[in-house]
Structure 1
Amino acid sequence: MKAMFNIVKEQISSFYLIQRLAKFQLRIDNQSNYLGFLWEVINPAIQMAMYWFVFGYIMRRNEEVGDIPYVYWMLAGISFWFFINKAILQGSKAIYQKYSMVAKMNFPLSVIPSYIIMGKYYGHLVLLAALIVLFCFGGYYPSIHYIELLVFLVMAYLLAFSITLLTSTLTVVVRDLQMLIQSVLQAMFFISPILWDRSGSMPEWLQAVLVLNPFYFLANGYRAALLEQKWYIVDHWQLALYNVGLIIVLLYIGAKAHYKFRDRFSDFI
């Protein structure tokens, strides 16, 4: 537990540094683009339009999911996916890509994946704000359930950090792991309720397995807060406790691995 508490202390004490580095990284990523940071919203918006056209218009004929038009249902869930996917993919390779910059400095290495995630988090918040405006045009107005949305936003960040703390450490040791992470995320995209949800028509044992996927909980949580006007955490409190416990376990494992290898990163790199 000591390693996990030390990681948490590093994040809190380096919070200002993480913000500065995240903003700096965003400027670097977009410095050659005329529209700059706007591409953090435009790029996922183009992909959203493509997914709606293929899965909503061609394959599903725009049918509703419950009482919600498919386009809104899909947008609420996929907004979460764009953040978690980019955060894990880029955060997982952050240490071995950035280590040479801080190797001779007294720098908390756990901050490296953290500021990469924070940069993606800024883009996620802007995209989510744009979607909220769009949902208002569709008749889905902000409500008291947005309080729960704040909880899901915090959980999404913590999930991304706990996963990335572990994977960014392991990819320094085994570089091929990055390719495995990319493949696993692609599989998770299609088995999570991002573009579809037919879990209700599946055998009960398979439903029980699918709900253990943390992406399942958060994607549906976003939808409940933004569109369904439901207290998703209250209605699914067992699932909420499971996901909080999962984040803690992943953070514990990631912290142990990080402290075990951090003094040997230079040897592996």
Structure 2
Amino acid sequence: MKDIWKIFKELVKSWPVMQRIARYNNDQTYRENYLGDFWHFADPLLQIGIMVLMFAIRNGGDKGNPHATGLAGYIAWIALGMVTYFFMQSAMRKSAKSIQSQVNILSRMKFSLSAIPMTEIITELRRYFVMLGIAFFAILFMNVKPSIYWLQFFYYFFAMMVFLYALSLVTSTITVLVPDFYNAYAAILRVGMWISGVIIPVDSPNFPLLLSNALKLNPLYYIIQGFRETLLENPIWFWHNITANLLFWGIVLILLTVGAHIHMRFRNRFMDFV
């Protein structure tokens, strides 16, 4: 807990610098391109559009999905899931390699190394909010009316950010210590969409119960399903599922404890490993 508290204080202290670095990263990514920020959103938009076209038309009337009604409901359901997953996937991938790629530069500044992974996560937020805005428009266009349940969007957003940072502390440190780890981690992220309930509802009646229960342990499923239960049909308050909440925050606490410990133990030697 001592390591966690120290890292929390470093994050608060480094917050203004993290925001400036995130803005700089966004400005520099496509600076040399004529269309600039267009390319920042074109790739995820294209992938989401293709997935929606392929799966929504094929499965729009699938009665095995208890969360979506008809083609319009399925489009909103899959679009919200994919926007959330693409953000998390990109944030997890970049934050895992953040210390390894930036330690040489940032170690010369008065900047806490524990804040580097969070900087990468913040950098991805601009694209996420734009994509989320498009998903919101799709939801409203499909006759899903706003409700008081939408307020718990902020709970799931907070849960997502804490989870991403806790995981990034672990992965960014291991990537420095064991470079081969990143390749395996990136491969897992490429298949993560298929085991996180993004496209196929893992709680469908057609799904084997044992496999369904195992996949629900995935923290990504908790977050994606939470956003869907908040914004789409059949909304429920997050505290109604005590078991899922305990499992998710238990995993986050374990990741945060382990990540803080190994980060504090090895960060003075990061330069030796890079």
For 1:20, the equivalent position in structure 2 comes to 20
**Residue aligned with 1:145, SS:** helix
2:183 counterpart (179, 184, 204): 179
Aligned pair count reads 268
Distance in 2 (alpha carbons) for counterparts of 1:236 and 1:38: 40
Q: How far 1:54 moved relative to its partner?
A: 2.2
Q: Given that residues 96 and 171 in structure 2 are in contact (C-alpha distance below 8 angstroms), is that contact kept between their aligned partners in structure 1? A: yes
**Aligned partner of 1:130: which letter?**
I
Moved over 4 A (4+): none
Are 1:262 and 2:262 matched, yes or no?
A: no
Q: Quick one: distance in 2 between partners of 1:79 and 1:230? A: 19
Separation in 2 of the partners of 1:259 and 1:218? 28
CA RMSD after TM alignment? 1.7
TM superposition shift of 1:229: 4.9
Structure-1 residue corresponding to 2:30? 30
Q: Map 1:189-208; keep pairs closer than 5 Å.
A: 189-199=193-203, 200-208=205-213
- Counterpart of 1:51 in structure 2 is 51
Name the structure 1 match of 2:42. 42
| CA deviation vs aligned residue, 1:179-235 (integer Å, no higher than 9, x gap) | 111111123221111011143333433222111111111111111111125124133
Unmatched 5+ stretches in structure 1: none
Aligned pair 1:108/2:115, yes or no?
Answer: no
Distance 1:225 1:233 in 2: 8
Q: In structure 2, the residue corresponding to 1:14 is in which secondary structure?
A: helix
For residues 191 and 151 of structure 1, the distance between their equivalents in structure 2, rounded to whole angstroms, comes to 23
The 8 Å contact of residues 4 and 251 in structure 1, kept in 2 or not, is answered as yes
Three-state SS of the structure 1 residue aligned to 2:87 is helix
Report the AA paired with residue 72 of structure 1.
A
Q: 199, 210, 219: which is aligned to 2:215?
A: 210
Where 1:212 maps in the other structure, the secondary structure is coil
Q: Which ranges of structure 2 fall in alignment gaps of 5 or more residues? A: none
Calculate the TM-score normalised by the size of structure 1: 0.93
Mapped to 2, the partners of 1:166 and 1:160 lie a distance apart of: 10
1:61 Cα offset (Å): 5.6
Contact 1:23 1:119 in 2 (8 A): yes
